[in-house]
A and B are shown apart, each in its own frame.
Chain A
Amino acid sequence: MGLKEKGVGFLDKITARAGYVNNWITVREADTSPDYGVLPYERGIIDHINFGVINLDKPPGPTSHEVVAWIKRMFNIERAGHGGTLEPWVY
C-alpha cells in the first residue's frame, strides 16, 4: 500500500470513529514522497505531543484557561490552547 493510501486510510479511520464519512473526489492522481513529512500515527513522541489533542474531562472548578496552563507546565511546552466550542486542544 502506497503512502497516499495509508494517509487517506488514516483519515477515513479517524473520521468513521467519530461517526462521520468522507466521500472523496479524486482530482489529480499523485502519491506523496517518503522524504518529507510523516504519517500522523508514526510521529515521534515529541511531535506526537506537540501536534496532539486531548479529549479532557475537565473537573468542575478550575477554568479551561487554568487547566491549559497546568497542561503547559506539566508538558513543558510553550503552545497549548483549548476549544470549548469549535477547536480542540491544539498544542
Chain B
Amino acid sequence: MVVQLHEVVERGRVESVVEYFKGRIYQRPPLRSSVKRSIRVKNIYEIEVLDYQDKFLMLRVLCDPGTYMRKLAHDMGLILGVGAHMRELRRTRTGPFREDETLVTLQEVGEALYLWRSSGDERYLRRVIQPVEVSTVHLPKILVLDTAVDAVAHGANLAAPGVALLTKNVESGKPVAIYTLKGELVALGKSLKSADEIARMDKGLIAETTRVVMPRGVYPRTWKTKSGSGLR
C-alpha cells in the first residue's frame, strides 16, 4: 500500500515506526463497517518498506485476513505525530492466489468469452477460468468414497467410513476441503478430529459440512430414507 504522511519525517523514524507494527496489533473496525465493532487482535507477519520518498511511503504487508490497512496507515500517522492516510492498496496475495500467470484482467476475460461465443474456441476461456478446486489447494484435504459423496452434497456431515484418504495436516476445529476420488470439490467443512484419529476410526462423525459446492445427484444416493431403501 501507499501511505501519505501529512508532513515529511526522517527515514529512520519512519522505519522504526513500521517495525513497531510487526506482530500482534489491536484494531477496532471502522465506523462504517459491516461487522461488530469490538476490538480485534490481528497479526502483522511481515511489513517492509519498499520505498519512501518525500511524504509517500510504500509498504508490503503480510497480515491476517480482515486486517484494516486504512487503519494501519492512520495509526502510523498517529505514532509519527504528523498524521497519515492510505492512498493506494493492492492485494498481491490471498490464500492460494498470487500475481502470477493466472492473474487476468476483465479485458482478457471479455475477449476469451467473445472468442468462445463467436467461434466456439474454448481454449482461451479455459486459460482465463480455472477449476474451482484451485481455490482450495491451501487447505487440508479429505477424499471420500463414491458412496459418501452425495450425502455430503446434500449437506450431511462426513462420517469416518466414507474417508478414502486425507492429508496429514487435517486438524480438529480447522477448515478442510472435501473432494471425490476424481479430485472434484464436494464441499468445505470443519474437521472434528485430527488426521491420525480419523485414520484409526471406523465409525462416527469426522467433519462438519459448512459449504456445499457440488450439486446434489451427481453421485448416486446410497443412504436409507424412512420410505424404505434409498439405493437406486
**Size class of the contact patch on chain A:** 35 or more
Is B132 interfacial (CB 8 A cutoff)?
yes
In contact, A37 and B149 (Cβ under 8 angstroms): yes
Residues of chain B within 8 A of A32, CB atoms compared:
146, 180-182
What is the minimal beta-carbon distance from A65 to any residue of chain B, in angstroms?
12
Residues of chain B within 8 A of A11, CB atoms compared:
133, 137, 141, 179, 183
Give the contacting residue for B138; candidates A20, A25, A40, A74; CB below 8 A. Answer: A20
In contact, A54 and B167 (Cβ under 8 angstroms): no
In contact, A39 and B183 (Cβ under 8 angstroms): yes
Residues of chain B within 8 A of A49, CB atoms compared:
125, 129
The SS class assigned to the B binding surface is mixed
Instruction: Kindly report which residue of chain B lies nearest to residue A75, judged by CB atoms.
Output: B113
In contact, B220 and A57 (Cβ under 8 angstroms): no
Q: Which of B6-14, B47-55, B75-83, B95-103 contacts A (4 or more CB under 8 A)?
A: B95-103
In contact, B131 and A52 (Cβ under 8 angstroms): yes
In contact, A45 and B126 (Cβ under 8 angstroms): yes
**Size class of the contact patch on chain B:** 35 or more
Give the contacting residue for A51; candidates B65, B131, B165; CB below 8 A. Answer: B131
In contact, B131 and A48 (Cβ under 8 angstroms): yes
What is the minimal beta-carbon distance from B92 to any residue of chain A, in angstroms?
11
| Residue of A20, A22, A27, A48 with most chain B CB atoms under a 10 A cut-off | A27
In contact, B131 and A18 (Cβ under 8 angstroms): no
Is B39 interfacial (CB 8 A cutoff)?
no
**Bound-state Cα–Cα, A90 to B214, Å:** 12
In contact, A25 and B219 (Cβ under 8 angstroms): no
Is A69 interfacial (CB 8 A cutoff)?
no
Q: Knowing that A28-B161, A54-B109, A87-B95 are A-B contacts, what are 13 other residue pairs whose CB atoms are under 8 Å apart, sorted by A's residue number?
A: A4-B164, A14-B131, A14-B133, A15-B137, A22-B141, A39-B183, A45-B125, A51-B132, A52-B130, A55-B130, A57-B99, A59-B106, A74-B113
Enumerate 30 A-B pairs (CB-CB under 8 Å) in ascending A order. A6-B183, A7-B182, A7-B183, A11-B183, A18-B137, A20-B96, A24-B167, A27-B163, A30-B145, A30-B146, A32-B146, A36-B219, A37-B180, A37-B182, A38-B182, A38-B184, A39-B183, A40-B183, A40-B185, A48-B131, A49-B129, A51-B132, A54-B104, A54-B109, A54-B128, A54-B130, A56-B109, A84-B94, A89-B135, A90-B132
List of 9 A-B pairs having minimum Cβ-Cβ separation, nearest first: A88-B135, A7-B183, A85-B65, A32-B181, A52-B129, A7-B182, A18-B96, A40-B131, A15-B137
